[in-house]
Amino acid sequence: MKVNKITALKMVLALAVGVGFTSCSKKGGGGNTSSATGWKINDKKGGFQHNSKYKGQETAPGLVPVEGGTFTMGRVQDDVMHDWNNTPTQQHVQSFYMDETEVTNVMYMEYLDWLKKVFPPTEENYKNIYVGALPDTLVWRAALGYNETMTNNYLRHPAYAEYPVVGVNWIQAVEFSKWRTNRVNEAVLEREGYLKRDAKILDVNAENSFDTEAYLESPTKSYGGNEEIVLKGPRNKMADKEDAKNVYAQRTSGIILPEYRLPTEAEWEYAALAMVGNREYNLYKGNKKYPWKGQYTRNGKRQTKGDQLANFKQNKGDYGGIAEWSDDNADITAPAKSYPANDFGLYDMAGNVAEWVADVYRPIVDDEANDFNYYRGNVYMKNQIGEDGRALIVDANTIEYDTLANGRIQYRNLPGSIAQTQITKEDTYLRQNYTKADNRNYKDGDRQSTRYYNFGGTEEEVENEAERMYDSPKHLVSKDSLGEMVREYDHSNKRTTLINDNVRVYKGGSWRDRAYWLDPAQRRYYPQDMATDFIGFRCAMSKVGPKGGKKKARH
């Protein structure tokens, strides 16, 4: 069939015009032109700036991605101990990242080295910063055991460099996580050209340091307000011009990573179970007893058949097995990655050391109150505002320290960070989702939870000591008229529990535990200001954006 040349030309022109309109439409909605206003986005002359080329969150150092989902949190095996503190509940966690291994001695030593150089303990204002971060190496001592080798060498000797750090209390683990957030984001901003190269090594000091939140609030206050550092990145060639735009990275830049933190109990248990390898379509095939498949602690693969899949206490007096025929090749902790990873690629989610998680301990997990990203421990804070109307930056004279129940001095904030304070009733006025700053004892420990609560009274009523729901000991630390520390141990024999708002959950069995505790559903607690030789930690990071990547093929 013949087609007229003019008709053919008209068809080609119509097609070209159609494609042109389609391209413009895609361009308008894609990032160069606003779909809301039609204005140009990312105009060099100014206006609205947006990272329209954002391709997703990068995986931060040490982390592996864990795609979130629904799971049964709690013990699904027989509870032979009858603790009834981990009854099964259905929970959902969002996708997140978690450390591939537990935080090792060499990782923690890098933190100590940085603190010692930046805040010299020889200076009066900073002497308690470095000392407060030191792990308690005396946790290795036993009244009827000779463990001085570990006391003297475990933290610092290179032979133990890749072993998990111990002797770190919960508070110290949280502070390490904050420090790690700042150092990683500092390196990211340097890499992307927003900070002077090598300033993090050559220019840093007590009055001249980087904090992520302080940079986001006011970049010019980073490094003590030294604009030579903040404005001398290779991408800031326009910084010296008066009309320069977007010479600082912002949250909208998409390059600043969320904070490192301790995982919640729900996240940790979900990650340890790693049900991805035990799944058929939308159902889990049976229940896992350990982070690996099967009901036994030994490897069933031909090449390594019979090897233990974690290091733990086999029996009374048996921490590693018979010499030259070892059950798990470790009598105390073991180097990271000594045993196979679980299906998420996480190592030592059972054995080696138990691990701190973020949650305050309660005997129940209240899924009726919440079944999404469950976490008990929220204390909502806000920035303190200075006389200039901007966030108040901590300096050498405004560092705050806490005296713990055991008398140890622990820093609460570091110079360069933003001073924080709890939110007030004015901040929560007419809110429905939360009504106060401290929610650690929400619905289990607060005044409304007790049988003594006066529903016609006011929240300001002073709590009667005898009417506390959790009647735990109160060890007090104070100073006398001469400034000497006075420690008052609670000798009362009427206390009924050790549970309070300052005890934290730790998960997973350790080198000191029997196999019973290797079940990820097991949960125990310990005071947040105390440390042991069998509790370590690993960090997590929230994932921003979509739940997962491309859909996996169905099996």
CB neighbour burial string for 177-208, b if at least 16 within 10 angstroms, e if fewer? bbbbbbbbbbebbbeeebbbeebbeebbebeb
**What is the predicted pLDDT for the residue at 283?**
67
User: Which amino acid is present at 199?
Assistant: A
Residues 92-97: what's their mean pLDDT? 97
**What is the predicted pLDDT for the residue at 321?**
83
φ/ψ of 75, rounded to 5, equals -80, 125
**What is the predicted pLDDT for the residue at 121?**
95
Domains of the chain with bracketed CATH: 1-53 (no CATH), 66-542 (3.90.1580.10)
Residue 20 clears pLDDT 50, i.e. is over it: no
Quick check: 422 and 379 in contact, CB under 8 A? yes
Nearest-angstrom CA–CA distance, 276 and 282: 11
pLDDT top residue among 262 and 241:
262
Quick check: 287 and 76 in contact, CB under 8 A? yes
pLDDT band at 27 (very low <50, low <70, confident <90, very high): very low
pLDDT top residue among 451 and 346:
346
Residues 546-552: what's their mean pLDDT? 72
Per residue, what are the HEC states of 493-529?
A: CCCCCCCCCCEEEEECCCCCCCHHHHCCCCEEEEECC
Quick check: 271 and 348 in contact, CB under 8 A? no
Residue 285 clears pLDDT 90, i.e. is over it: no
Closest CA to 276 of 536, 38, 68: 68
Residues 408-422: what's their mean pLDDT? 94
**What is the predicted pLDDT for the residue at 454?**
79
pLDDT top residue among 83 and 474:
474
Residues 112-141: what's their mean pLDDT? 96
**What is the predicted pLDDT for the residue at 19?**
44
Q: Rounded to an integer, what is the distance from CA 10 to the centroid of its chain?
A: 63
The tokens describing 72, both together, are 């049964």
Residue 4 clears pLDDT 90, i.e. is over it: no
What is the value of pTM for the model shown? 0.90
Most confident listed range (27-31, 87-91, 219-223):
87-91
**What is the predicted pLDDT for the residue at 236?**
53
pLDDT band at 238 (very low <50, low <70, confident <90, very high): very low
The tokens describing 493, both together, are 């024999």
pLDDT band at 153 (very low <50, low <70, confident <90, very high): very high
Closest CA to 287 of 31, 519, 53: 519
Strands 540-542 and 279-280: unpaired
Residue 309 clears pLDDT 50, i.e. is over it: yes
Residues 306-325: what's their mean pLDDT? 88
Quick check: 49 and 42 in contact, CB under 8 A? yes
In the three-class reduction of DSSP (H, G, I as helix; E, B as strand; rest coil), residue 109 is classed as: helix
Residue 461 clears pLDDT 80, i.e. is over it: no
What is the chain's mean pLDDT, rounded? 87
pLDDT band at 450 (very low <50, low <70, confident <90, very high): confident
Closest CA to 181 of 203, 204, 213, 205: 213
Residue 233 clears pLDDT 70, i.e. is over it: no
Residues 400-417: what's their mean pLDDT? 92
Place of tokens 């105009």: 43
Based on its alpha-carbon atoms, the radius of gyration of the chain, rounded to whole angstroms, reads 28
Residue 3 clears pLDDT 60, i.e. is over it: no
Lowest mean pLDDT among 267-281, 451-465, 518-532: 451-465
Q: Measuring CA to CA, how many Å separate 511 from each of 136, 312, 317, 491?
A: 18, 4, 12, 33
pLDDT band at 43 (very low <50, low <70, confident <90, very high): confident
φ/ψ of 392, rounded to 5, equals -85, 120
